[in-house]
């Protein structure tokens, strides 16, 4: 622009928001994928730990189980997804949303491993779900304005 301040022209070209990815690379899809991967990882690690004999003091022999290695690999994949999310979403929002694992892990443990969920735990699940819904609504409203 003729007559424009060069500093403001430079700022206008360098401070625009990062483009939002869509589909699989949408950071909110990646948060959901990360929560599912962590849940799968925890279930596999539990199966691997259960396969370990009690002869091992630290349960190191669980490393002989394919369940354990599947859990480790799945956890690494969730970590990669998480690093991607952190580049695009504020930590406070991303961390609050990834807490869906506090819902998914107990429900998956109940469904797949036949573990019991106490009334207190059900209450905690309801509270976590309420918090996630509130944060998701806030984020959706803010992104709508963009």
Q: Is 28 domain-assigned?
A: yes
Domain housing 115: 24-145
Q: Is 57 domain-assigned?
A: yes
Indicate if the pLDDT at residue 26 is higher than 50: yes
Q: Is 83 domain-assigned?
A: yes
Q: For residue 47, what are its two tokens? A: 């199966």
Q: How far apart are CA 18 and CA 141, in angstroms?
A: 18
Q: Is 139 left (phi over 0), alpha (psi -120 to 50) or beta?
A: alpha
Return all residues near 118 (Cβ < 8 A) that are at least 6 apart: none
Structural domains in the chain (count)? 1
The per-residue pLDDT for 6 is 47
Q: What is the pLDDT of residues 56-79, one digit of tens each?
A: 666 778 888 899 999 999 999 999
Q: Is 102 domain-assigned?
A: yes
Exposure string of 94-105, with b = 16+ CB inside 10 Å and e = fewer, is bebbbbbbbbbb
pTM above 0.75, yes or no: yes
Exposure string of 23-60, with b = 16+ CB inside 10 Å and e = fewer, is eeeebbebbbbbbbbbbbbbbbbbbbeeebeeeeeeee
Q: How far apart are CA 84 and CA 26, in angstroms?
A: 10
Q: What is the pLDDT of residues 74-131, one digit of tens each?
A: 999 999 999 999 999 999 999 999 999 999 999 999 999 999 999 999 999 999 999 9
């Amino acid at each position: 622009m003729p007559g424009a301040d060069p500093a403001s022209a430079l700022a206008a070209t360098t401070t625009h928001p990062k483009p939002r990815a869509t589909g699989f690379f949408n950071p909110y899809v990646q948060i959901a994928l990360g929560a599912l991967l962590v849940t799968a990882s925890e279930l596999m690690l539990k199966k691997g730990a259960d396969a370990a004999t009690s002869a091992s003091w630290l349960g190191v022999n669980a490393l002989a189980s394919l369940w354990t290695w599947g859990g480790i690999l799945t956890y690494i994949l969730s970590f990669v997804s998480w690093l991607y999310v952190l580049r695009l979403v504020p930590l406070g929002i991303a961390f609050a949303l990834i807490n869906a694992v506090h819902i998914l892990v107990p429900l998956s443990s109940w469904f797949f491993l036949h573990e019991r969920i106490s009334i207190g735990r059900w209450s905690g699940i309801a509270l976590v779900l309420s918090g996630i819904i509130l944060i998701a609504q806030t984020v959706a409203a803010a992104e709508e304005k963009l």
